Amino acid sequence: MATRYSMLPALAICSLLAGQAAAQTTAVMPAAKPAAKSLGSAAIERRISELHSRLAITPAQQQPFDAFAQVMRDNAAQMDAAFAQRGSQLAVMNAVQDLQSYAQISQIQSDNMQKLATAFQALYASFPAAQQKVADGVFRPAQARH
């Protein structure tokens, strides 16, 4: 039986990469000084570039694509900040605070996915049918492609 998380679209998974990577590191060590550009930001920029190419974004679609890409960046930055805050407090959290911290991060992820879906809806509406079909394939969960 597929899990709830395995059914998320590829975009959702990639948009959360920064946060998930941070979660793995903050659980083991305290937050370090942030780099000029996080590893999550680099992953998001690669994903944005990949999506631009795979979706064959036209000049007429550039504006809604840019808005969508900015939501991806903003979401990644928000998750980076949430995990950095968690990491800086992890050593002094009790069990209840730890669970509340995870709940807060889950809420941020949920809110961010809604923002991303809304931004993508505007971009998707600008696609002709053939390009929508390509997008459907790009965002279809990996299990459905096999």
Among 38, 12, 41, which Cα is nearest to 26's? Answer: 38
Domain ranges within the chain, ordered by starting residue: 61-127
Q: Tens of pLDDT along 20-51? A: 444 443 343 333 333 334 557 889 999 999 99
Give me the pLDDT at residue 11, please.
Answer: 42
Of 51, 46, 74, nearest to 131 by C-alpha is: 51
Backbone angles phi, psi at 97, to 5 degrees: -65, -35
Look at residue 108 in the predicted model and tell me its pLDDT. Answer: 95
Q: What is the 3-state secondary structure (H, E, C) of 59-108?
A: HHHHHHHHHHHHHHHHHHHHHHHHHHHHHHHHHHCCHHHHHHHHHHHHHH
Report whether pLDDT(113) > 50: yes
Contacting residues for 113 by C-beta, under 8 A, at least 6 apart:
12, 15
Cα distance between residue 31 and residue 27, in whole Å: 9
Place of tokens 């979401």: 75
Question: What's the pLDDT tens digit per position in 42-97?
Answer: 899 999 999 999 999 999 999 999 999 999 999 999 999 999 999 899 899 999 99
Integer angstrom CA distances of residue 68 from 19, 42, 113: 18, 17, 12
Residue 127 clears pLDDT 90, i.e. is over it: yes
- Answer yes or no: is pLDDT of 18 > 60: no
